[in-house]
Amino acid sequence: MSEPLRIAIAGLGTVGAGVFQLLAKNGALIARRGGRPLEVVAVAARDRKKDRGVDLAKVAWFDDAAKMAAEADCEVVVELIGGAEGMARRVCETALAKGRHVVTANKALLAHHGTALAASAEAKGLTIAYEAAVAGGIPIIKSIREGLAANRLSRVYGILNGTCNYILTQMRKTGRAFGDVLADAQKLGYAEADPSFDVDGVDAAHKLAILAGVAFGTKIDFAAVHVEGIRRVGAQDIQFARELGFRIKLLGIAELGEGGLMQRVHPCMVPLETPIAHVEDVYNAVVAEGDFVGRVVAEGRGAGAGPTASAVVADIVDIAHGRRPMTFQLPAGELATPKALGIDARRGGYYIRLDVIDRPGVIADVTAALRDEAVSLASMLQRGRAPDERVPVVLVTHDTQEAAMRRALDRIARLGAVLEAPVVIRIESL
């Protein structure tokens, strides 16, 4: 058996400890599979004394992760600090500058600096691997980059945030409101104390930008992702979705067409017949559509110590085997920069919920606004009647252009009888 692959780990939170536990339990098997043992030789974290259930006796300790990335006697630096800037970025840049491979679970870093990091790595013949950054334990980066390497992909989309999927699933199962379910999710550890990163769609957008890069061979363009979260999805929307034969999911969708690349994260109505409608709770799923393979779906746990450690170690095994894939399908210098299409260019159906005062003429005004923008109505639902009181009215449109729908909606929102900003959920036929 060959020499061990020497690894340094920056950051010893849940995932870092998970990597230790995984190697302790499965290290011997992995060595047989890889023909080479994996050995953690150095660790950097803030508090040396904290008990993480991990044996650090044989490991060099660094208080400064960047110093470790520069000086540890290793071939691979695993970055598990997180965040787009600061120490995480410094660790990765230092490791590459010093000739070490990098394995990271850091989606924010890659969404913001992925193309530059890829270029640095490739210039030195090094790998920057990031399977754990997207959809946790699902080996989707490998599947897209290698498994579907023969295909031209036209679309990639998925449920990329487990917290949101958990909240939406619980809202559906219990009929409770977003805020209540979020509070519970926080208690259970499925949502952070400050949940905005997850529930406002930013985390999913980071992952989507990375997925688009590797699926299409394009420069990562996080700034161009249209992002909406799930805060405005109401219990009644969940109920209406049920009646209409849909489930509400927060999807990240990237489509590359003649006109350019559209990337968007927002709540969607998806038909019950489509596979991801049934991906529930904290599970993630990614769908890739290729010209020869057709539709491929991968589902699994998107977060947590075990699944993330599984992805991190798979990347390390690739390095141990000498497998050196391109970071994003093509050499960093050859990545395309397609035109970024804004959400205005989106075409599809819309679910619109209005809160209106139930009085004569309201519906006529609403439908006139739609007609004037050539937005064609597929159906309308009004729940009960309550003269001069507030009632929800749901409109479902045929396929139309987002820009036209927005213009109609601006006019509708200004109607005196419309009480709150309309809730708009895009219908994705998928």
Q: Where along the sequence are the contacts to its own copies (CB under 8 A)?
A: 18, 22, 25-26, 29-30, 32-34, 131, 137-139, 142-143, 146-152, 217, 275, 278-279, 290-301, 306-307, 309-314, 317-318, 321, 323, 325-326, 329-330, 334
- Rounded to the nearest whole angstrom, what is the least distance from the CB of residue 70 to its own copies in the complex? 27
Q: Which is nearer to its own copies, 107 or 353 (CB)?
A: 107
Q: Which tokens sit at 110?
A: 């890659």
Q: Judge contact between 101 and 118, C-beta under 8 A.
A: no
> What per-residue string of b and e applies to 374-396 under the rule 16 or more CB within 10 Å gives b?
ebeeeeeebeeeeeeeebbbbbb
Q: Other C-beta atoms within 10 Å of 61: how many?
A: 11
DSSP string, 71-119: HSS-SEEEE-S-SSSHHHHHHHHHHHHTT-EEEE--HHHHHHHHHHHHH
- Known catalytic residue: 207? yes
DSSP designation for 218: B
Nearer to its own copies, 247 or 266 (CB): 247
State in angstroms the smallest separation of the CB of 69 from its own copies.
23
Contact call for residues 184 and 166 (beta carbons, < 8 A): no
Rounded to the nearest whole angstrom, what is the least distance from the CB of residue 35 to its own copies in the complex? Answer: 8
Shortest CB 138 distance to its own copies, Å: 6
Strand order in the sheet with 76-79: 60-62, 38-44, 5-10, 76-79, 101-104, 128-129
Task: Calculate ∠ Cα 411-403-223, nearest 5°.
Answer: 120
Query: What string of DSSP letters covers 373-394?
Result: TTPPEEEEEE-S--TTSEEEEE
- Choose between 237 and 318: whose C-beta lies nearer to its own copies: 318
Residue number, 24 or 223, with CB nearest to its own copies = 24
Query: Which lies closer to its own copies via its Cβ, residue 34 or residue 195?
Result: 34
Rounded to the nearest whole angstrom, what is the least distance from the CB of residue 82 to its own copies in the complex? Answer: 20
Catalytic hit among 107, 142, 207, 249 = 207
Active site residues: 207
